[in-house]
Structure 1
Amino acid sequence: MGTWDVGPFDNDTAADFCCDLDEVAAGEREGIVRGALTRVIDTVDYLEAPESEVAVAAAALVAAQCLEGEPADPVYGPDVVLPDLTGLRDLARHALDRVMTEPFELMELWAESGGAPWRANVRQLQNVLLPQPPGEQLSLI
């Protein structure tokens, strides 16, 4: 596992996902984020770590545009401006729910090295993605 910390962009797979976003046309970026989230939600069997890592990064990109969200990682996050992803808020939350539901490889890998901080980061993302009252303002990445 090429992971150096517990944040959503702190692994090779998430960093590669963000590089992929940098390389595609602007009009394709929302679809790529949506696809990453949908693939995880649609997985009914064992969820592999790479798909989970990409989904967590995609959900973090959505959360970054929410009022209480933290900006994407300036080093490993995308370098390009992303479209408004807040319409994917529910999808991102459901993807994180799936990432935290067995059977899944990523939690097994984190259990080997102490997964509590990683789980806390995912729960924080889930909280940011909860529905907000009308009038929430978009914060740009």
Structure 2
Amino acid sequence: MGTWDIGPFDNDTAADFSYRIDEAPAERKAAVLLAAFRDVTETGEDYLDSDLAVEAVAAAALVAAQCPGGAPVTTSYGPKQPIPPLPAALRPAAVAALDRVLGKDSELLELWEESDGAAWKAGTEALRAVLASADA
């Protein structure tokens, strides 16, 4: 995984994912995000591949950006096309995916823990907090 910073779109996999989001018609963008969440949560107890986790974190950032207290996604590596208003039903799916990314048997978490990943983890936990509070 080519990673250059700690943001949700600061790696090759997430940048590629943003292209898939851009290619989806406006009415299908929410489905692309939901699929990223399901790819993570439907792994059950299996080891979570980092590429799936990266896409879920990027998708969560886009959902959180539309929540109260959420930060806009302004990186040039994120989607270029506007994200239409997303259904609130995506929020619990995003929280569940982030719980899996931050939980045991997550390759992405392990990779960040092997380096100085405290800031990445804090940022991902902050995304989760915004999503969880908006869904409360």
TM superposition score normalised by structure 2: 0.92
Query: Which range is displaced more, 51-60 or 108-117?
Result: 108-117
Q: Secondary structure of 2:34's match? A: helix
Q: Name the residue aligned to 2:18.
A: 18
Q: Name the residue aligned to 2:2.
A: 2
Identity of aligned residues (%): 49
Q: Name the residue aligned to 1:95.
A: 97
Deviation at 1:74, TM superposition (A): 3.2
Q: How many residues align?
A: 134
- Cα deviation digits, residues 100-128 of structure 1 (max 9, x gap): 11111111211221111110001110111
Deviation at 1:133, TM superposition (A): 8.1
State whether residues 40 and 53 of structure 2, in contact with CA within 8 Å, keep that contact through their aligned partners in structure 1: yes
The aligned amino acid for 1:101 is G
State whether residues 68 and 128 of structure 1, in contact with CA within 8 Å, keep that contact through their aligned partners in structure 2: yes
* d(CA) in 1 for partners of 2:70, 2:108: 23
Unaligned runs of 5+ in 2: none
Is 1:117 the counterpart of 2:119? The answer is yes
Alignment of structure 1 residues 1-141 onto 2, 5 Å: 1-44=1-44, 45-87=46-88, 88-132=90-134
- Cα deviation digits, residues 30-86 of structure 1 (max 9, x gap): 110010011101112000000000000000000000110011133011111112224
- Report which of the two has the higher share of helix: 2
State whether residues 65 and 86 of structure 1, in contact with CA within 8 Å, keep that contact through their aligned partners in structure 2: no
* d(CA) in 2 for partners of 1:53, 1:103: 14
Query: Which range is displaced more, 123-132 or 8-17?
Result: 123-132
Runs of 4+ residues deviating >4 angstroms: none
State whether residues 9 and 58 of structure 2, in contact with CA within 8 Å, keep that contact through their aligned partners in structure 1: yes
* d(CA) in 1 for partners of 2:110, 2:135: 36
